[in-house]
Amino acid sequence: MQVFQNPQELTNFIKKLKREGKSVGFVPTMGYLHNGHLSLVRCAKKENDTVVVSIFVNPTQFGKGEDFDRYPRDLDRDLRLLQKEGVDIVFAPQIEDMYPEGFSTFVEETKLSQRWEGEFRPGHFKGVCTIVLKLFNIVKPDKAYFGEKDFQQLKVIQKMVKDLNLDVEIVGCPIVREDDGLAMSSRNVYLSEEERKQATALYQSFQLAQKLVKEGLRDPRRLEEEIINFLKKFPLIKRIDYVTVVGEDTLEPAEEIKGKERILVAVRMPSARLIDNWKLEV
């Protein structure tokens, strides 16, 4: 496994691989890896000759007062995990490598990124699109792998790729959960023991919602109400940022549940903000 810090050196190396006819699969991450990340790596391994994983906590996607400084980091552990998975290349740049002095160009998707995470984390998707486009230009992947855990992010990236004619295939991969249903996340380490227990409320609310839909409930607003009422029973859920049932392609509130809808949820606990989502089966 080769580790690169310098973008130009990695690009030169990738160009050589491509001249040899090798396909490149790419998994962008912020590190502190868990099985969710590793599921993307395994998928990329199956479908490409070479797998590149990036590890970079991207400052431009964090708002003021968010957790950029305390975001968990452990590069040595990450490298060991990726080596075990048989990853070929790790790209782990420093901030100055990605944002040298005088950096002044940003990329913004202006429709799908406006609501939900975009509303509660202003500037977040601008930072995400900018770093992802930069990474695509450096790594030149044939395919890039993103988790449905961040469903809105997956949709925003797919839209950027389409709108800007980027020559890369975006592959969405299913959410990996803990045994009790909590979606894996690097940020779960922030949770206290009691918060960790109550964090399963999100998954439980999806089970409840799925049951109601199976029983015939088709009104998205009523379903949202049921989910909110359920989440309110958990005292460590201090705030509900949003609970919404949206069309999978538009990310706009659905008018009726027909089988192409997703529940998107974001809540705040004392030590972490949690997001999760669920594809409704009818």
Q: Is 29 in the site for ligand AMP (CB under 6 A)?
A: yes
| 230 contacts ligand AMP (rule: CB under 6 A) | no
Using CB under 6 A as the binding rule, whether residue 130 contacts ligand AMP is answered as: no
Nearer to ligand AMP, 154 or 257 (CB): 154
- When asked if residue 93 is in the footprint of ligand AMP (CB under 6 A), the reply is no
Q: Please state, in angstroms and rounded to a whole number, the distance separating the CA atoms of residues 160 and 108.
A: 8
Going across the sheet that includes 239-247, the strands are: 239-247, 261-268, 273-279
Position 85 contacts ligand AMP (CB under 6 A): no
End-to-end CA distance of the chain: give it in Å, rounded.
45
Residue number, 37 or 140, with CB nearest to ligand AMP:
37
Listed ranges 41-49, 81-89, 144-152, 212-220: which one lies at the site for ligand AMP (CB under 6 A) = 144-152
Reply yes or no on whether 37 is catalytic: yes
Question: What residues from 5 to 24 belong to the interface with ligand AMP (CB under 6 A)?
Answer: none
C-alpha to C-alpha distance for 96 and 99, rounded to whole angstroms: 5
Sort strands 261-268 and 239-247 into parallel, antiparallel or unpaired. antiparallel
Among 30, 131, 213, 243, binds ligand AMP (CB under 6 A): 30
Closer CB to ligand AMP, residue 48 or residue 224? 48
- Nearer residue to ligand AMP within complex by CB, 29 or 50: 29
Which of 134, 147, 203, 278 binds ligand AMP (CB under 6 A)? It is 147
In this complex, which beta carbon is closest to ligand AMP, that of residue 135 or of residue 231? 135
Cβ atoms of 259 and 280 within 8 Å: the answer is yes
Please, what is the minimum distance in Å from the beta carbon of residue 184 to ligand AMP?
4
What distances in angstroms separate CA 221 from CA 8, 105, 151, 227, 258, one per listed residue? Answer: 50, 40, 20, 10, 14
Q: Does residue 40 touch ligand AMP according to CB under 6 A? A: yes
Cβ–Cβ under 8 Å, residues 53 and 89: yes
Is 29 or 113 the residue whose CB approaches ligand AMP more closely?
29
The 3 state secondary structure assigned to 179-197 is CCCCECCHHHHHCCHHHHH
CA–CA dist 200, 205 (Å, integer): 9
185 binds ligand AMP (CB under 6 A): yes
What lies within 8 Å, CB to CB, of 123 at 6+ separation is: 60, 61, 63
Question: What value, to the nearest 5°, has the Cα angle with vertex 266 and ends 260 and 272?
Answer: 145
Which of 44, 156, 170, 175 touches ligand AMP by CB under 6 A?
175
152 binds ligand AMP (CB under 6 A): no
Whether 218 contacts 256, CB under 8 Å: yes
Considering the candidates 27, 37, 91, 206, report the single residue annotated as catalytic.
Answer: 37
> Shortest Cβ distance from residue 38 to ligand AMP (Å)?
9
The residue ranges that bind ligand AMP (CB under 6 A) are 29-30, 36-37, 39-40, 146-147, 149-150, 173, 175-176, 183-186
Active site positions, annotated: 37
